[in-house]
Amino acid sequence: MTDFLSPSLEASLDDLKSIYRILVEHSDEYPELEGNGFLDSLQMLLLEQAKAEGIDVDDDEAWAEWLYEPPLEAVVPPPRDLLN
């Protein structure tokens, strides 16, 4: 099998986190994801970004919190807070 070199992909950090979370959450259902070059590269990219942001990626809780943090624009205050 020949390796396919794709052109550069553009995606936001939040999109990359979402794609990674979905792939990891379903990896038990799809064993072909084990050792998948795209998934491995995506994980390395996200780990490097988290480290650059000061996240201790060896701390599973810190890594998960960073990986699952909602995008700022998705945070909507409860209605009672909007009235004040």
Q: Residue 37's pLDDT is what?
A: 87
Q: Residue 34's pLDDT is what?
A: 85
Q: Residue 73's pLDDT is what?
A: 53
Q: Residue 35's pLDDT is what?
A: 86
Q: CB-based burial of residue 23 (10 Å sphere; 0-12 exposed, 13-18 middle, 19+ buried)?
A: middle
Q: Residue 36's pLDDT is what?
A: 86
* DSSP annotation string for 5-30: -PPP----HHHHHHHHHHHHHTTTT-
Phi, psi of 82 (to 5 degrees): -70, -25
Q: Residue 71's pLDDT is what?
A: 54
User: What's this model's pTM, rounded to 2 decimal places?
Assistant: 0.71
Residues of the chain with pLDDT under 70: 1-8, 70-84
